[in-house]
Amino acid sequence: MESKFIILIVIVLGIVAISQLARVYELAAKLKGKKEEDISDSDNRMNARMMFAFMILFFGTVIYFYTEYGRGLLPEAASVHGVEQDWLMNLNIFIITTVFFLTNFLLFFFASKYYKRKGSKAYFFPHDNKLELIWTVIPSIVLAVIIILGLKNWNEVTGAPSEDAEKVELYSKQFSWTARYSGEDNVLGDFNYKLVNDDINNPLGVVTRVTMETQIEALKAKIVDEKAKLNSDSLVFADDIEYKMHKKVERLSRVVRRLEEELASYNDSLDIPALDDKIVRGDLHLKVNQEYEFQFRAEDVIHSAYFPHFRAQMNTVPGMKTRFKFTPTITTKEMREKLQDENFNYVLLCNKICGASHSNMYMLVQVDDEATYDAWIAEQPTFKSTVIDELNK
């Protein structure tokens, strides 16, 4: 830290010293009666050589950073589409790097080779249709290829899943992820944000008759509570607080009314898909070579579900469902061996700055072989056993 600070000071002072020297040089030239536009051949030659030296330094720095920081990139893609995506990324880097070296070489090489010499005259070259055509058409074709390949890859991630894709919901809120597996039937139970209630262990607002009934009772109790405070003789509130409390009672009453309407026309068969759902708050387990379709929801603000090792990312948005699919291809154990890192773990990160504790919003992801996964999922309790049976007691 300290040494960095000293280096910074040295650089700043160096720049100040150079600019002062240049100023002294200018003043000396003025005293000698030289005009600013009088540039000698030796000045031009000097500039030409500096152009060439700068090019070498510039290229050297770029190569250094490519090799130094190229090693910090992610390990090989651990999903089917991720391999293709990496190929596409490498193609882009290859094109960008080639064009970068080519154009910058021409720029600095020409500037250093064709500097002004005494008696030489610039060649008048205002326009050439052929050249214009070449540098418009070639980049257009290259761009079109990149964009078409990119769209193809995007469609693979967001397209319709195959029949045997397993459905998993990922629910985001400040500042955690909760997963819901769809269970034996591979159908996620319906949800309603009005039913989100941590007290009855229904953090995702899963819809069943009993969760609706319980939530209506809970909200009614809240309303009674709030009204009691408002009508109490011993409590006095400031006007604005009293206004807010009235508003809250109105809002809660509205929610209760809507839920009661929904309950009146509720069909009990809608309970069935929810019963075998499994809510998981610890690590997210995935089976290797199994296609997954993820459904995302957000409770509060926009978050983003980012699986860097599977090359997948999707925003999670309050009030709507988003989705994508991928197939993991390398188990955690295999990846640990490949990287020779005992502690390696796949992760699901939040990739939107969503608030104060954003950096803590992640979930470890375990990619298991079939037997390990099957044993794990069998141990996870169902929504029926953790919530429904409790509420029905």
Size of residue set near Cu ion by CB under 5 A: 4
Q: Which is nearer to Cu ion, 211 or 316 (CB)?
A: 316
Q: Which is nearer to Cu ion, 157 or 361 (CB)?
A: 361
Q: Which is nearer to Cu ion, 288 or 361 (CB)?
A: 361
Are the CB atoms for 390 and 285 separated by under 8 Å?
no
Instruction: Output the smallest distance, CB 322 to Cu ion, in A.
Output: 14
What Rg value do the Cα atoms of the chain yield, rounded? 33
Q: Which is nearer to Cu ion, 188 or 361 (CB)?
A: 361
3-state SS, the chain, equals CHHHHHHHHHHHHHHHHHHHHHHHHHHHHHHCCCCCCCCCHHHHHHHHHHHHHHHHHHHHHHHHHHHHHHCCCCCCCCEHHHHHHHHHHHHHHHHHHHHHHHHHHHHHHHHHHCCCCCCCCCCCCCCCHHHHHHHHHHHHHHHHHHHHHHHHHHHHHHCCCCCCCEEEEEEEECCEEEEEECCCCCCCCCECHHHCEHHHCECCCECCHHHHHHHHHHHHHHHHHHHHHHHCCCCCCCHHHHHHHHHHHHHHHHHHHHHHHHHHCCCHHHHHHHHCCEEECCCEEEECCCCEEEEEEECCCCEEEEEHHHCEEEEECECCCEEEEECECCCHHHHHHHHCCCCCCEEEEECCCCCCCHHHCEEEEEEECHHHHHHHHHHCCCHHHHHHHHHHC
**Binding piece for Cu ion, criterion CB under 5 A, among 23-31, 211-219, 237-245, 353-361:** 353-361
Q: Which is nearer to Cu ion, 256 or 361 (CB)?
A: 361
Q: How far apart are CA 202 and CA 342, in angstroms?
A: 36
Instruction: Output the smallest distance, CB 360 to Cu ion, in A.
Output: 9
Is 348 a binder of Cu ion (CB under 5 A)? no
Q: Which is nearer to Cu ion, 89 or 301 (CB)?
A: 301
Is 170 a binder of Cu ion (CB under 5 A)? no
Q: Which is nearer to Cu ion, 104 or 315 (CB)?
A: 315
Q: Which is nearer to Cu ion, 279 or 350 (CB)?
A: 350
Instruction: Output the smallest distance, CB 181 to Cu ion, in A.
Output: 22
Q: Which is nearer to Cu ion, 171 or 310 (CB)?
A: 171
Q: Which is nearer to Cu ion, 77 or 350 (CB)?
A: 350
Are the CB atoms for 291 and 325 separated by under 8 Å?
yes
Q: Interface residues for Cu ion in 284-343 (CB under 5 A)?
A: 303
The one-letter amino acid code at 279 reads I
Instruction: Output the smallest distance, CB 350 to Cu ion, in A.
Output: 3
Q: Interface residues for Cu ion in 112-151 (CB under 5 A)?
A: none
Q: Which is nearer to Cu ion, 316 or 332 (CB)?
A: 316
Instruction: Output the smallest distance, CB 380 to Cu ion, in A.
Output: 24
Is 350 a binder of Cu ion (CB under 5 A)? yes
**Binding piece for Cu ion, criterion CB under 5 A, among 59-67, 130-138, 140-148, 361-369:** 361-369
Are the CB atoms for 310 and 292 separated by under 8 Å?
no
Instruction: Output the smallest distance, CB 348 to Cu ion, in A.
Output: 11
Work out which of 361, 363, 365, 388 binds Cu ion, going by CB under 5 A: 361
Instruction: Output the smallest distance, CB 346 to Cu ion, in A.
Output: 18
Work out which of 170, 206, 354, 365 binds Cu ion, going by CB under 5 A: 354
Are the CB atoms for 315 and 302 separated by under 8 Å?
yes
Instruction: Output the smallest distance, CB 72 to Cu ion, in A.
Output: 24
Instruction: Output the smallest distance, CB 359 to Cu ion, in A.
Output: 9
How is residue 197 written in tokens?
């209630």
**Binding piece for Cu ion, criterion CB under 5 A, among 56-64, 89-97, 240-248, 355-363:** 355-363
Are the CB atoms for 266 and 209 separated by under 8 Å?
yes
Instruction: Output the smallest distance, CB 196 to Cu ion, in A.
Output: 17
Instruction: Output the smallest distance, CB 313 to Cu ion, in A.
Output: 13
Interface residue list for Cu ion (CB under 5 A): 303, 350, 354, 361
